[in-house]
A = this chain, B = another copy of it.
Amino acid sequence: MNIFFNKPTIMGPEVKYIYNAVEKAKISGNGEYTKICQKYIQERYRVKKCLLTTSCTDALEMAALLCNIQSGDEVIMPSFTFVSSANAFVLRGAKIVFCDSRSDHPGMDEDLIEDLINSKTKVIVPVHYAGVACDMDKIMNLAERYNLLVVEDAAQAIDSFYKGADGIKKALGSIGHFGCFSFHETKNVQCGEGGMLCINDESFFNRSEIIWEKGTNRTAFWRGDVDKYGWLDIGSSFLPSEITAAFLWAQLEAIDDIQRKRRAIWENYYEGLQSLRDKITLPKLPDYAENNGHLFYLICENKEQRKELIKYLKCQEISTVFHYQSLHSSSYYKGKHDGRSLPNSELYSGCLLRLPFYYDLSVEDQLRVMTEIKEFLNN
């Protein structure tokens, strides 16, 4: 492919930092680079506590463990999301109650949530699709009224914000009880495979460290709080290596540069494709949300149009991809779903198309992508 859909970039000192980690004779988890990354995120985004993980999937699994999900508990989330949003809770025995997407955005329709709440409901999982905030005031309000926990799936939402009724800009992932981030290679800041759990409610701090370290109090031991460590709880090995954390630190240091570049790419697409508004739908940003330049999508008129557009662009050596298959109609869950139709979710599954988007995408290449899309749609 001449123009990739995604291309991970080395920002500069990644490899130097990996060397440093090896020199310090410490490349297993929870070393200096892990701590630097965590501290940086905590301070930059006013997150009370965060822990790096090997993936966003693992961050979601940590959140499910901390929510103490029991067999039969219900968890509300959009159907238009990655399987891990659901699997993390299914692994703990939860029943997933899928909510439809908004008509103007792939995010979950906040106004449909309340009708899905019953006495078994334990958690709401808003997914900030494309890094665009869900209406967190509405969701946190429901959570408070019904005594639910909120796990923000902020996989795509690094450096993105929400401004609610109080007028205060809050980082996504810092608002619910937990926030889960991805540093997968397709993300703005990345380390190949990686993730992070933000813990915004202090009552979960202690247990989060234990679950992170295989159910032991090893973190407290390293800090010198206890003189030996042992098995206290369930847990897993959620820690990434220092190789991974060192790589990630080089990316985090460059986050302002990355974000400037990515927001510009997004704006270019948005401005450059305005003339096609009668043929395709462009993304829409609610007033309360900010754009973190994570991905740019357009919504085709129908599945057939999308298929033909992908095919045409492929012939021009431009790679574009669709996104999630709706989970409520997946092989695994369709028999377990309650039968409600989720038309907006199906619409995005069938018609949404993502355009090439990465730090090194040149203005010329981006122009070529847009020219070819226009060529196809205008003929």
A residues near B (Cβ < 8 Å) are: 4, 6-8, 10, 14-15, 18-19, 21-22, 25-29, 54-58, 61, 82-84, 86-88, 90-91, 184-186, 190-194, 214-216, 228, 230-237, 239-244, 247, 325, 327, 330-333
Contacts and interface: CB of A to CB of B under 8 A. Distances in A.
A37 B7 CA distance: 23
Count copies of this chain in the complex: 2
25 contacts: A7-B25, A8-B22, A15-B15, A18-B18, A28-B185, A29-B193, A54-B54, A56-B237, A57-B237, A83-B235, A84-B214, A84-B236, A86-B231, A87-B214, A87-B231, A91-B91, A191-B241, A192-B244, A193-B241, A193-B244, A230-B330, A231-B327, A231-B331, A231-B332, A241-B244
A184 B28 contact: yes
B28 A193 contact: yes
Contacts of A22: 8, 10
Nearest to A22: B10
Contacts of A28: 184-186, 192-193
Contacts of A244: 192-193, 241, 243-244
Given A28-B186, A83-B231, A331-B231, A247 B236 contact: no
Contacts of A214: 57, 82-84, 87
Contact of A15 (B18, B25, B240): B18
Contacts of A234: 87, 90-91
B243 A247 contact: yes
Contacts of A61: 236
B184 A332 contact: no
B243 A192 contact: yes
Nearest to A25: B7
A194 B232 CA distance: 23
Most B C-beta atoms less than 10 A away, residue of A25, A58, A186, A333: A25
A191 B54 CA distance: 13
A54 B325 contact: no
A316 B58 CA distance: 41
Contacts of A6: 25
Contacts of A185: 26-28, 241
Nearest to A10: B22
A225 to B, nearest CB: 15
Q: What 9 A-B pairs come out closest when comparing CB atoms?
A: A192-B241, A57-B237, A27-B192, A231-B330, A193-B241, A55-B237, A54-B54, A28-B185, A231-B332
A25 to B, nearest CB: 5
